[in-house]
């Protein structure tokens, strides 16, 4: 039973345009959502997160939106750059409090983002 789903295995976006990566989840008890980025031969790197009590979090070119009623979150990258080409994992945690990111992380299957010139 996949609790975090990324239905698009791949996405190709032109450099300078917006990249939108989507994610759906089924467990309403998740209280914290994260996006990780992974380059080949490296471990996943934390990118941005959002608490379930918020609907938007922004960090530079990266913005994550959370729609709790739809159990959906998205990552927007504006503008997209060649270095953004990587696999992006949506993830979620469920813990005793809002900031429970030391709890186990449930990952989606990832979306491979390619930024073309």
Partner 1 sequence: DAGVTQSPTHLIKTRGQQVTLRCSPKSGHDTVSWYQQALGQGPQFIFQYYEEEERQRGNFPDRFSGHQFPNYSSELNVNALLLGDSALYLCASSLKSRGGTKNIQYFGAGTRLSVL
DSSP the chain: --SEE---SEEEEETTS-EEEEEEE--TT--EEEEEEE-TTS--EEEEEEETT-SEEEETTEEEEEETTTTEEEEEESS--GGG-EEEEEEEE--SSS--TTSPEEE---EEEEEE-
Give the number of residues in contact with partner 1, rule: CB under 8 A: 29
104 binds partner 1 (CB under 8 A): yes
**Should residue 95 be labelled a site residue for partner 1 when binding is judged by CB under 8 A?**
yes
74 or 100: whose CB is closer to partner 1? 100
Q: Are residues 53 and 65 in contact, defined by beta-carbon separation less than 8 angstroms?
A: no
Binding segment for partner 1 (CB under 8 A), chosen from 11-19, 60-68, 70-78, 93-101, is 93-101
In this chain, which of 54, 71, 76, 105 binds partner 1, going by CB under 8 A?
105
Q: Among residues 21, 73, 91, 113, which is the contact residue for partner 1, using CB under 8 A?
A: 91
**Please, which of residues 8-67 interact with partner 1 by CB under 8 A?**
34, 36, 41-46, 49
The binder of partner 1 chosen from 22, 57, 109, 114 (CB under 8 A): 109
Contact residues for partner 1 (CB under 8 A)? 4, 6, 34, 36, 41-46, 49, 89, 91, 95-110
């Amino acid at each position: 039973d996949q609790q975090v789903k990324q239905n698009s295995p791949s996405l190709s976006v032109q450099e300078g345009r917006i990249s939108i990566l989507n994610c759906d989840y089924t467990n309403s008890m998740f209280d914290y959502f994260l996006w990780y980025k992974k380059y080949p031969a490296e471990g996943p790197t934390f990118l941005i997160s959002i608490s379930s009590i918020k609907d938007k979090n922004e960090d530079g070119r990266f913005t994550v939106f959370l729609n709790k009623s739809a159990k959906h979150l998205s990552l927007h990258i504006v503008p997209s750059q060649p270095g953004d080409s990587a696999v992006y994992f949506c993830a979620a945690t469920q813990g005793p409090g809002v900031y429970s990111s030391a709890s186990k992380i449930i990952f989606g299957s990832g979306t491979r983002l390619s930024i073309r010139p």
